[in-house]
Structure 1
Amino acid sequence: MKSFLALSHVAAVAGGLWAVPLAAQDGGAGSGHGQVEALRAEMARLADRVETLEAELAAAKGEPAAVPPAPAAPSAGASSISWKGAPVIEGEGGWSFKPRGRLQIDAGTISAPDSLGAVDGFGSEIRRARLGAEGDIPGGFGYKFELDFAGGEVELADGILTYGDGGLTVSIGHHNTFQGLEELTSSRFISTMERAAFTDAFGFERRLGLSTQYAAGAWLVQAGVFSDNADALSNRNWSVDGRVVAMPELGGTRLHLGGSVHYADYEEGTALRYRQRPFAHFTDTRFIDTGRVEGASELGMGLEAAAIAGPFHAAAEGFWQQVDRPGALPDPTFFGGYAEIGMFLTPGDTRGYKRGVFDRVKPANPVGEGGFGAVQINLRYDRLDLVDAGIVGGTHDGYAVSLVWTPTDYTRFMANYGRMEYANAALPAGEDDRSYGVDTFGVRAQIDF
């Protein structure tokens, strides 16, 4: 009896379904598009009703109800999302997109002799506040774009289109030139709050240009032709930069040996200036300063070396910058360099390294997973000499110690103390007194993704 009733329900629904096209033939209300939509709605209602009747029939016969099929799995070409400090979206055909950024908040103090009359004491700033994106484009192409909002201004950091094929990478756009290990290591991964003094004093910065690099085994070769920093354009300045690095691994120790060369040609009337802050960026006071030096060109040469062995690392660089002055004026050669050693105090941690630069530290026992993160201590000696060929810009010998805590892969806290000993300083402490010391202390909170 129950089976007969169920079948009668199906017949009744089917009759209702047939009524729709018959009404259309008779030219009744709801003709055209409305009739098609009514038909679709009636079919959907019929499908739901048939499913219900099937369940009732199965119950009448004492059989289990049919289980609806599981939804189909996404196709192999569908987009996927993974996590690498930020979401990495990968699409069909080789597309990818990842937001990137960093925030560095600094504070500290500077203590200089009272007789200088220089601005010292407490200072703070947003050192870097960057946002951007990077990813891949089908065909071996890629992109990287990042803006810096620190200081209340918007500046272009990176704006690059790349092409890669195996170990070859070609880059065009606004990016770093190839002037050494310290300069090319990201500010996210340096061992002190500020880089070695010569990198800033000699004007190392991103420039608009075309470059290529090739990595094969333990060798890396980089070269490029550049114009100037985006903020300085348009002008006729141009430069050529190159770097070669050997990076073998011997018995568990990563070695790094490299050399770089820099040549810049400046348009007529260009004035160059070499100067440096006292191991802190939140002050504009420069205790050594050459003043304006007219220059037709620059020639720089650098040497670099580093080693990483378990928790220990060491690094050293030297860079010589010669200025070609017009006419019969003598050409000065200035020098900068540093030497550093460091070690991790937490077991299992080591300094990161990748393709010729220091890279991200990944704590063996991060906070949030039952650990304390990675703790590192570093000692550094820093030298800058801006005295030569009648130019007396001053010298400094800097001694610094830093403590770095990395709770997780993408968070970092730093504290460093520096003592700068100046001679022939630009600012006198008294009559003919240009030799004195300045102390700095700074802390930083950092997050990046």
Structure 2
Amino acid sequence: MSLLRLSVMAAALSCTVATPLYAQDTASELAAMRAQLDAMNTRINQLEGELQQANQQIESQATIVAALPAAAEPDTKISWKGAPVIEGKGGWSFKPRGRLQFDAGITNAPDSTGREDGFGNEVRRARLGVQGDIPGGFGYKFEVDIAGNDVEVADGFLSYEDGGLTATVGHHNNFQGLEELTSSLNTSMIERAAFTDAFGFERRVGASLQYGTGDVLVQGGVFTDNIGDLSNKNWSADGRVVAMPKMGGTQLHLGGSIHYTDLEDGSTVRYRQRPLVHFTSNRFIDTASLGASSEFGLGLEAAAISGPFHVTGEAFWQQLNRPGALSDPTFFGGYAEVGYFLTSGDKRGYKKGTFDRIKPKNAVGEGGIGAIQVNLRYDYLDLNDSGIVGGIQNGFGASLVWTPTDYTRFLLNYGKMVYDDAVYPTANGDRSYSVDAFAVRAQVDF
């Protein structure tokens, strides 16, 4: 008997017991009560039937739901890495990328040289592009720089990866040393070492292979020229080997590179360099244009990162082969640098043979002030040899780098360039003097 039925009968009995003793238990009253109980019993039967029918419907619906297939995962996944990274089915991915670097500062040269100095500023880089993966192990990257009101292709290549092997075809860097291969987003000074620009290091169109296994990285390729200088008959072959072992908590880096460039008949080259900053057009050391048939370069590089401390340096010899009986000069450049993080837990990034992004342990917006780093550098460039007097630079630089978040940076940089045999003499004919430069940079990338 159902709980509902028992409850009704108990209620009826309680009414009977509560009847006063003086009430007459007449036949008519009993008949009326029986009729009420019969009516209640009929209604209870009706409600029990409806409840059973409802339960049957619920069980039927549950059976149908259980028989349905599990919900399929979405074909597209979106994550965040400075910008949205869209990953599709089968290995497709797409990520927009870009960077903006704004520089401002002053240069100060001896007045009697006649060189215009003082305040300068520029959008140093304004890049937009995309990168991603294609099913089968392929990848792509395309990026243009629109700084200076010109549109130039920075990177534009297709790559293929299989284990430690990477093959690349297109416009990309050609393995000319540690600082040149380190992104401008991650350099410790506002500009790279003087020799990298003076000797014309730049991206070129070509095909390359690199293989990394354990602590060793081998890179090599054959290239034509920068995409903005095509077409010509120039070509080059470049190779680089890096050992990057770890000793306890210290990351070591030892590398060497070799370069050969064959230049078409009638070519000229010119080696020269600005005083630290890019927003000035003054070059105080300059070989002027030299006839050339080929170039041969050798580079050495070394670095160590231990906690907040890092030390790094490079040396590069550039031999110019000139046509006919002209002498073949060898020019030299190099730098040495030390740096230290003032904020606890921060250190310089390193990845696959180059310096990488700094990721503050306590970023702004997460309860911290970001990463603060100080760096000191000696930067040497000698453009004098074999009767060619292009000048010598002894550069002394200091920088303060604040990285508030993974994708923002601010740099303050001071440099004193001490010149011998500078191309611009003072009023009394002196070619040995110094030029000061101070610059700041605001940077964001994604």
**TM-score bracket for the superposition, by shorter chain length:** 0.7 to 0.9
2:364 match: 367
**Equivalent residue letter for 2:403:** T
Q: Which amino acid aligns with 2:85?
A: V
1:432 deviates by 2.6
Q: Which amino acid aligns with 1:99?
A: P
Which residue is 1:34 aligned to?
none
- What is the alpha-carbon distance in structure 2 between the residues aligned to residue 113 and residue 159 of structure 1? 43
**Partner amino acid for 1:418?**
G
What is the match of residue 14 of structure 1?
none
User: Any residues of structure 2 matched to 1:306-325 within 5 Å, and which?
Assistant: 306-325=303-322
Q: Does 1:159 align with 2:165?
A: no
Work out the CA distance in 1 between the residues paired with 2:99 and 2:332. Answer: 32
How far is the alpha carbon of 1:220 from its aligned partner? 0.1
Kindly report which structure 2 residues correspond to 1:71-82, keeping only aligned pairs within 5 A, or say none. Answer: 75-76=72-73, 78-82=75-79
Tell me the SS of whatever aligns to 2:91. coil
Summarize deviations over 1:241-292 as a string: whole Å, max 9, x none: 0000000000110000000001000001101000000000001110000000
Name the SS for the 1:93 alignment partner.
helix
Is 1:169 matched up with 2:153? Answer: no
* 2:393 corresponding residue in structure 1: 396
Q: Distance in 1 between matches of 2:225 and 2:55?
A: 83
Aligned pair 1:93/2:90, yes or no? yes
How far off is 1:78 after superposition?
1.1
Partner of 2:270: 273
Identity %: 67
Give CA deviations for 1:226-246 in whole Å, capped at 9, x if unaligned: 000011100000000000000
Query: For the residues of structure 2 that align with 1:235 and 1:161, how far apart are their CA atoms?
Result: 23
Q: Which residue of 1 aligns with 2:202?
A: 205
Q: 1:231 to 1:73 in 2, by over 3 A?
A: farther
Q: Is 1:434 the counterpart of 2:420 in the alignment?
A: no
1:114 equivalenced with 2:87 (yes/no): no
Contact 1:95 1:136 in 2 (8 A): yes
Residue 61 of structure 1, CA deviation: 7.4
The code of the aligned residue for 2:429 comes to D
Aligned residue for 1:283, secondary structure, equals coil
CA drift at 1:63: 12
Of residues 114, 127, 131, the one that matches 1:130 is 127
1:342 to 2:339 alignment: yes
Quote the Cα distance in structure 2 between the aligned partners of 1:77 and 1:201: 52
Query: Distance between the aligned counterparts of 1:364 and 1:302, measured in 2?
Result: 34
How far, CA to CA, are the matches of 2:443 and 2:328 in structure 1? 42
Q: Say if 2:348 is the partner of 1:351.
A: yes
Measure the CA separation in 2 of the matches of 1:198 and 1:377: 22
Shift of 1:83: 0.4
Q: What is the aligned partner in structure 1 of residue 379 from structure 2? A: 382
1:74–1:147 Cα change, 3 Å: farther
Q: Is the 8 A contact 1:291 1:393 kept in 2?
A: yes
Q: Distance in 2 between matches of 1:328 and 1:385?
A: 23
| In 1, Cα distance between equivalents of 2:263 and 2:120 | 36
CA RMSD, 1 decimal: 2.0
Q: What residue identity is the alignment partner of 2:254?
A: L
> Which residue number corresponds to residue 238 of structure 1?
235
Structure 1 residue 183 displacement after superposition: 0.3
3-state SS of paired residue (2:180): helix
CA distance in structure 1 between the partners assigned to 2:341 and 2:102 by the alignment: 23
Deviation at 1:62, TM superposition (A): 11
Counterpart of 1:104, as a letter, is Q
Name which of 299, 305, 309 aligns with 1:302: 299
Q: In the alignment, is the contact (CA less than 8 A) between 1:243 and 1:259 conserved in 2?
A: yes
Residue identity in the other structure for 2:427 = G
Aligned residues of 1:107 and 1:122 also touching (Cα < 8 A) = yes
User: Is 2:185 aligned against 1:188?
Assistant: yes
Measure, in 1, the Cα distance between the counterparts of 2:368 and 2:119: 34
Mapped partners of 1:103, 1:72: distance in 2: 49
Q: Using the alignment, how far apart are the partners of 1:114 and 1:99 within structure 2?
A: 47
Look up the match of 2:26: none
- The Cα of 1:430 is off from its aligned counterpart by 2.4
The answer to whether residue 282 in structure 2 is matched with residue 285 in structure 1 is yes
Q: 8 Å contact 1:77–1:91 — kept in the other structure?
A: no
In the aligned structure 1, how far is the partner of 2:291 from the partner of 2:71?
65
Structure 1 position 255 matched with structure 2 position 240: no
- Per the normalisation by structure 1, the TM-score is 0.85
Residues 409-445 of structure 1 deviation map (CA, whole Å, 9 limit, x = unaligned)? 0000000100000000011112431000000000000
Correspondence 1:400-415 to 2 at 5 A: 400-415=397-412
Amino acid at match of 2:342: L
1:140 aligns with 2:176: no
What letter matches 1:242 in structure 2? G
Q: Deviations over 1:201-247 (max 9, x none)?
A: 00000000000000000000000000000111000000000000000
In the alignment, what sits opposite 1:21?
A: none
Q: Which has the larger radius of gyration?
A: 2
Of 421, 426, 443, the residue aligned with 2:440 is 443
Shift of 1:119: 1.2
Between the aligned partners of 1:309 and 1:448, the Cα distance in structure 2 is 27
Change (3 A) 1:345 1:63: farther
Is 2:145 the counterpart of 1:178? no
Cα distance, 1:80–1:323 mapped onto 2, change above 3 Å: same
Counterpart residue type for residue 124 of structure 2: R
Read off the aligned partner of 2:311 and give its amino acid letter.
A
SS at structure 2 position matched to 1:231: helix
Q: Could you tell me which amino acid in structure 1 is paired with residue 97 of structure 2?
A: R
**Whole-angstrom CA distance in 2 between matches of 1:241 and 1:429:** 41
Between the aligned partners of 1:77 and 1:265, the Cα distance in structure 2 is 53
Residues 166, 329 of structure 1: CA spacing in aligned structure 2 closer, same or farther, 3 A cutoff? same
* Alignment deviations for residues 84-125 of structure 1 (CA, whole Å, 9 cap, x no partner): 111001011000001111000000000110001111000000
Q: Which runs of 5+ in 1 are unaligned?
A: 1-56
TM-score for both structures, normalised by structure 2 = 0.85
Question: In structure 2, how many angstroms separate the alpha carbons of the residues matched to 1:267 and 1:238?
Answer: 9
CA distance in structure 2 between the aligned counterparts of 1:118 and 1:126, rounded to whole angstroms = 22
The unaligned stretches of length 5 or more in structure 2 are 1-49
